Structure 1
Amino acid sequence: MSGENLVFVLAAALPIARLAGLRGRFLTLTGLAVVLGFTVLARPEPSMVRASVMALLSLLLAAIGRRARGVPLLCAGGTLLLLFDPWLARSYGFALSLSATAGLFVLAPGWQHALAERRVPHRIAESLACTAAAEAFCLPVLVSLTAEITPLSIPANLLAEACVGPATVLGAAALLGAAVWLPLGRGIAWLAQWPADGIVAVAKHGAQVPGAAVPWPGGLAGSAALLAVYAVLFLISAAAAPRKEAR
């Protein structure tokens, strides 16, 4: 996910900037430069642009002392991008990026809290809730394109998650290192290949597991059918909730 990759890069770059003595506006400008630079390096695909615009808006709000709130920030970023380029409305990458982020903001906090109440360790609860929430919001878009449901996508994403951060940070560092001294960039890229190979291995072997993909109607009809299933599950859970509270 582009937003997660950008978060990893910012999480690595901003502490270094603080250690270098940057504060206030200079720290914000550094964050803006990192976002723009990473967007150029990763190529400005629709999902990457969405993540970058939200990061820029968040940094600007922090600079003026305002707290960024997830859903309004997502709506503002998506609206600005659609006003700038209405053809993004036809991009599956843009739709999936918005859907995944909306899932993180809308569903993930509640699911994480529910897992924590069942004494699931914090880190595991966070990863599981975020992965499942993003998948739940993306699936109605995905089935319209692929005409299949992938039940193993959640465990596969959880397995690959451990490799995403190192691959992203080392990959960005390799590009910067190569600009300074080519052998340095090659050395860092050699390190980056290992987590990248881990992600590829999870995708390759996960796709070969029996039942990894289940046929489902495609197009608008498939999306509508899946949303109907979601509605039924929501009604069942809402009806069961009062009984649990009564107990």
Structure 2
Amino acid sequence: MTGSQAPSSFRLAYVPGVTPGKWVRIWNERRPDVPLTLVQVPAAEASEVLRGGDADAALVRLPVDRTVLSAIPLYTETTVVMVPNDHVVTVADQVSAAELADEVLLHPLDDVLDWDRPPGLPAFERPATTADAVELVAAGIGLLAVPQSLARLHHRKDLTYRPLVDAPESGVALSWPEDATTDLVDDFIGIVRGRTVNSTRGRAKPEAETRQEGKRPEKGGARKPATGKSSRGTGSGGGAKGARTTKGAQRGKPRRRS
């Protein structure tokens, strides 16, 4: 950003299941001068949104094209299998892919898990979306493997889920165009990496932070200076101590009789 022109906003895209709320709150505290605009996009379209300049950064599912996009992995999600509440799977704490061999496992077109080959029996056709697949699970058509955040996103009272221990997992990352690492992108990188408010990496701090830091000396100025306290202690206590020592020495010296 050049000159005195302030950016209108910071555009953050995010894919279904990802919850950017905690990072947005920190952004609003640190950069109240730059509104953060959230843009929800399908997982398959996140990279295109970044390449097209429709977002400054995005919370995406890995992998991404590292030839044009930078990415910082944030966390890896547990994969779960969604089932009806009365399904036999619910008696176990977790399930393996082998245990689903005789089950119909739905494989939506927007699946974010990188399967070599999904376990279980294939459905008659692939649902268009994860939301459509969840409806089919509720109807008893089949089961569905998804990252845990998507199971929570599509929560229904008649469905539950169990961890699927040997399935592919979905990694979530912060990504942005490699040739567009702006100061605002760097600010958001700092937030997701847990940098403190004073970690500016050598560039000027936002005005809001400068105002906050400007108040600190005032609080310090109200305190009594340490030097004054020391000088008072030396001037009175030190002299009295010296007097007592001298007096004690005189009192302890025997007088010679003539």
| Bucket of the pairwise TM-score, normalised by the shorter protein | under 0.3
Larger Rg, first or second structure (1 or 2): 2
User: Taking CA–CA contacts closer than 8 Å with sequence separation of 6 or more, which of the two structures ends up with the larger relative contact order?
Assistant: 2
**Structure with greater strand percent:** 2
